[in-house]
Amino acid sequence: MYLKRKIDAYLANWKNSKDKKPLIVKGPRQIGKTASINEFAKNNYKHIIEINFVTSEKYKKITEDGYSTDSIIKSISLIDPSHKFVPGETLIFFDEIQEFPEIATSLKFFNIDGRFDVICSGSLLGINYKRIESNSVGYKTDYTMYSLDFEEFLWAKGYSSEVIDDMLTHIKESKPFSNLEHSVFSSHFLDFCILGGMPAVVREFIKNKTFEGTLEIQRQLLSDYKEDIRKYAQGLDQTRITNVFNSIPVQLSKENKKFQLSIVEKGARFKDYRGCIEWLEDAGMVHLCYCLNNAELPLKGNYDINKFKIYFCDTGLFVALLDDEAQEDLRANKNLSVYKGALYESIVGEALVKAGYQLYYFRREDSTLEEDFFVRTANNLIPIEVKARNNKAKSLIQLIQNSKYTDISYGIKFCAGNIGFENNIYTFPYYCTFLLKRFLKEI
């Protein structure tokens, strides 16, 4: 069963663009990159040459006679003469290029040649990307893919784009959802929080219509991620990287969710762990949320690189690391408060990243003022508060009403409640987070 993804529309536009360049699709492992590219290829090309550098290592020799298009084609044909290279009708798909980043040098020649479309894909590309970038700068296009967001999850459940458009209309007009709408979307969102967006997990859930088997898949994915650490974290302390990864649920369970090295290792020094944390981020396994120095624009350059929170790339993986009692409470009772609202905060942060935002938060050391996230428009800084229930957003009110914060004129609260607007605060249900960027653009 193929799951419709947002990359589908991107790939169609890429194919039809006049100045098309070779495409590199980046993202963590097992998020559906290969499946989406193959689905696109099957529907758009007469000839598909798929080369996987993990399963077919012999293709690592195709650059021995040079990187020109003709040299590459000749080498591929020598290995497998059944491949047909027809100009304008052929897609060359280099998969798992993290195993052979040298292939990126050929992208310049494919781009100049122009006879064939080329897509590259791979996991953990971030840790090798300087090397890939230097070999292909100016001659390729990048696309970052993630696990399914809630919109894609709704597509998997059978909902149409018209339903999504109607949801957007509701939040643009501050029009509350009906009791039925709110109940149905809330139920689906709770399922999504527990499952996450890894395609294998979602497919299992759609097929069985229960959580049966999903936890086992999530835990296997975690094992695969940890195996990647052992395989690819060369020159770094793999045990430290794994310890950081395993500590994230404990970090997020604290009232102050700022990453604390003391939780990972007693007496640990930040300089010994900085590279380990950056490796996890570059590998796409985690997202960092940096603490702003001041609640003001601009965002970039206005944060402390040593103060941050860490979220998993997929909340389902976070869930899979919780203890067995929490698992039972989540799956049987859908109680997402087991981690003091950390699950809600994690899923909102994940949705913001998937919408294209970088993550920032703010915490004043001399007061109780703390805000979960910030995004911006051209002229406004917008604080975002995540509430486990529909409680009063004290920090949000303070940021909006205090004349000190001149870049802030309104804020957004995500909670379990319905749509509302009061005191310059937009209140939206959690399940509308994926629509935030569209909402801000249209208002």
What is the DSSP code string of 72-112?
Answer: HHHHHHHH-TT----TTSEEEEEE-GGG-GGGGGHHHHHHH
pLDDT of residue 135: 67
pTM given for the model: 0.94
Q: Answer whether 275's CB lies under 8 Å from 236's CB.
A: yes
96 torsion bin: left (phi>0), alpha (psi -120 to 50), beta (else) = left
Pairing of strands 425-429, 411-415: parallel
Q: How far apart are CA 316 and CA 28, in angstroms?
A: 14
81 torsion bin: left (phi>0), alpha (psi -120 to 50), beta (else) = alpha
pLDDT of residue 183: 97
Q: What is the DSSP letter of 323?
A: -
Q: What is the dihedral of CA 157, 160, 161, 166, to 10 degrees?
A: -100
pLDDT of residue 321: 87
Q: Answer whether 407's CB lies under 8 Å from 381's CB.
A: yes
Q: Low-confidence residues of the chain, pLDDT below 50? A: none
Which residues are CB-contacts of 312 (< 8 A; sequence separation ≥ 6)?
A: 248, 285, 286, 287, 318, 346, 350
Q: Answer whether 194's CB lies under 8 Å from 290's CB.
A: no
Q: How far apart are CA 395 and CA 370, in angstroms?
A: 6
Query: What φ, ψ does residue 309 adopt, rounded to 5°?
Result: -110, 155
Task: Report the SS3 class of residue 389.
Answer: coil
pLDDT of residue 57: 94
pLDDT of residue 338: 59
Q: How far apart are CA 81 and CA 286, in angstroms?
A: 42
Which residues are CB-contacts of 21 (< 8 A; sequence separation ≥ 6)?
A: 107, 111, 139, 140, 141
Furthest CA-CA distance within the chain: 71
74 torsion bin: left (phi>0), alpha (psi -120 to 50), beta (else) = alpha
pLDDT of residue 129: 64
**Helix-strand-coil split of the chain, %, nearest 5:** 50, 15, 35
pLDDT of residue 337: 66
Q: What is the dihedral of CA 127, 130, 132, 133, to 10 degrees?
A: 140
- Tell me the β-bridge partners of 312: 286
